Structure 1
């Protein structure tokens, strides 16, 4: 009798194939690295002792057999999810790894998750928080399934789900009340972030003198510096806490970002499609 293939082993194999490291796979599937190694070994035994990965100190890469088997594994799981969705009568099942910048997670994700979970309680969503510039490589490596990403001009694409303005934020209602003198100190995301470039470009165009006093991709850190009154910051409007103020002139206007849904693959599971559709319906009204 031929051995059967455990769907959990297939899911772990696919994650390992896309991530290239067993440590990253362990985080994604919620197991220890040793447990992931054992799962891969069990799958190789079920396939007649085929070796699926070349292992090295820097990670894993697929063997020829692994390359051939990857397509089968992905099709098996996709068909499984579709069959369960269509015939179980219990709605969608499956697991999604979702990526998003931190400010969108703070502003939108609790409502998105709660409303989606009420409709599809059997879909598990794991979250990766990273700026847009870091989410694109994760999508290409298929370490996440879909993500909210930003583009610098909300009118540049017909696929924009929501336009979100960038705003100046401070601990006092006006820039003058901060009493910074001739040079405005700013707390900004890292220099490769859209928010950073937009803020610096806007200040340069107006001729206002400024300095970067604090740089971090952690919005909690930016909020903390803004609260201290030692610098102003820039963030999306919906992420501004109630105890901080949105600052206007003489500070220059900032652009309106566009929020898109980006996917790792063209062929997507029913759970991923359902979550993306939910985002398209709900996000514009939040």
Structure 2
């Protein structure tokens, strides 16, 4: 059965080393000298090794003691970090994150899970809307971090990923072969203009099978094989797949996933969230 080291004894050990003796360490720890000495004895008995060379007048560490000091510092640092994260007031509150609904998958669930593990007392308020509305909310300082889907990046933004747009349809669907090509597009979707322009340039007739202000309506229409849609490659929903059309549909432009963060708020949790977003999208 594994044994557990006493963190109180470890803290006394580190204090004695740093202070250069039991007398000074007892003052730092607010303990009596005998109590500190007892903690050192308890630690040595638990390890069954001598940590100090007591044959010399000066308090010197043995080889085992030097190794133990390195472990003890790391263990205490981790202990203090855990207690700080779980109890400190600065690790409470809410961070608002805006993400276009068409790039929520597959990265955002992973990001939210990692953030919750690192900062369990904080909450991420997820806002899902189109890029145009997200940028307007960000300009009004209503959201801390936003992701956008754009053909370029504005000042202050950071491009996390650049991928081509692709045509998507129902799994094993055939609606992409129909002419006029039935489309499912949101009213304010940033992909709408590039998709229609590409079809017009290729001389392919099209019709809007559905116009909606909700991505759910679009997804339902596409998954039922009633229309096709255009999205960033790699962000397909579980209900659709990239259409392998062999050139029957026109190529679409490349789109950037950009990130903008507020300069009005600085905190370790916000920095961590930004870092998780970078890692998740750049790994795609």
TM range (shorter): 0.5 to 0.7
What is the aligned partner in structure 2 of residue 89 from structure 1?
Answer: 84
Query: Structure 2 CA distance, aligned partners of 1:206 and 1:284?
Result: 32
What secondary structure sits across from 1:229 in the alignment? coil
CA RMSD of aligned residues (A): 2.9
User: Which of 205, 216, 220 is the equivalent residue of 2:216?
Assistant: 220
- Any residues of structure 2 matched to 1:171-186 within 5 Å, and which? 171=170, 173=172, 177-178=174-175, 181-186=178-183
Distance change >3 Å, CA 278–CA 242, structure 1 → 2: closer
Runs of 4+ in 1 over 6 A off after TM superposition: 85-88
Structure 1 residues 36-81: Cα deviation after superposition (integer angstroms, max 9, x where no partner): xxxxxxxxxxxxxxxxxxxxxxxxxxxxxxxxxxxxxxxxxxxxxx
Match of 1:123 in 2: 122
Shift of the alpha carbon at 1:257?
Answer: 1.4
Per-residue CA deviations over 1:230-249 (Å, capped at 9, x if unaligned) read 21112233332345331232
CA distance in 2, matches of 1:202, 1:224: 24
Unpaired runs of 5+ in structure 2?
A: 1-79
Cα distance in 2 for residues equivalent to 1:253 and 1:219: 23
Q: Which moved more, 1:87-96 or 1:123-132?
A: 87-96
Provide the rounded CA distance (Å) in 1 between the counterparts of 2:250 and 2:180: 15
Q: CA deviation at 1:163?
A: 2.0
Unaligned runs of 5+ in 1: 1-84
SS at match of 1:231: coil
Give the C-alpha shift of residue 255 in structure 1. 1.9
Q: Is the 8 A contact 2:157 2:259 kept in 1?
A: no
3-state DSSP of counterpart to 1:182 = coil
Separation in 1, partners of 2:97, 2:200: 36
Q: CA deviation at 1:169?
A: 1.3
Q: In structure 2, how many angstroms separate the alpha carbons of the residues matched to 1:204 and 1:211? A: 12
Q: In structure 2, what is the Cα distance between the partners aligned to 1:197 and 1:132?
A: 14
- Relative to structure 1, the CA distance from residue 179 to residue 89 in structure 2 (aligned partners, 3 Å threshold; closer, same or farther) is closer
Aligned equivalent of 1:250: 248
Instruction: Choose from 216, 232, 246 the match for 1:236.
Output: 232
Q: What TM-score does the superposition give when structure 2 sets the normalisation length? A: 0.61
Matched residue, 1:161: 160
**1:66 alignment partner in structure 2:** none
Residues 145/134 of structure 1: CA separation in 2 closer, same or farther (3 Å cut)? same
Contact 1:112–1:283 (Cα < 8 Å) also in 2: no
Q: Which residue of 2 aligns with 1:80?
A: none
- Structure 2 vs 1, CA of residues 218 and 236 (structure 1 numbering), >3 Å: closer, same or farther? farther
TM-score between both structures, scaled by the size of structure 1: 0.61
Number of residue pairs aligned between Structure 1 and Structure 2: 198
Distance 1:182 1:112, change over 3 A: same
